[in-house]
Amino acid sequence: MFKTVIRDEEHNEVSVDYMHNYLGNTRWFKITYYHKGQAREVTRYGVWDDKCRAWQTKNNDIAICYQQVDDNGQPEGYRTATGITNIQAKPARLDS
């Protein structure tokens, strides 16, 4: 069983609010987590929109509901990830 511990660039543990704000300010992100149905770690690409959220489960794990996208950025539906081992994000574009 994987337990999610998410850390920032300085390796400090971060809160659910931090994750919500961080992912909300990205163009896209890559998330790696334990997929219970496949009984293995998987890596998926996602985007954050108004329907997405992050929360702490009753098992004290972090869960993230995100919109999964394919290699071309086309939506593939919403997914929920727990047992998260890694998140890498592309920062939002700066306004010109």
CATH class of 16-90: mainly beta
Q: How confident is the model at residue 94 (pLDDT cuts 50, 70, 90)?
A: low
Residue scoring higher pLDDT (39 or 13): 39
According to the model, what pLDDT value does residue 20 have?
A: 81
| Per-residue CA distances from 41 to 1, 4, 22, 47, 55 (Å) | 11, 13, 23, 19, 20
CB 31 within 8 A of CB 84: yes
Tell me: the pLDDT tens digits for 27-85? 999 999 999 899 999 999 999 999 999 998 898 888 999 999 998 989 999 999 998 88
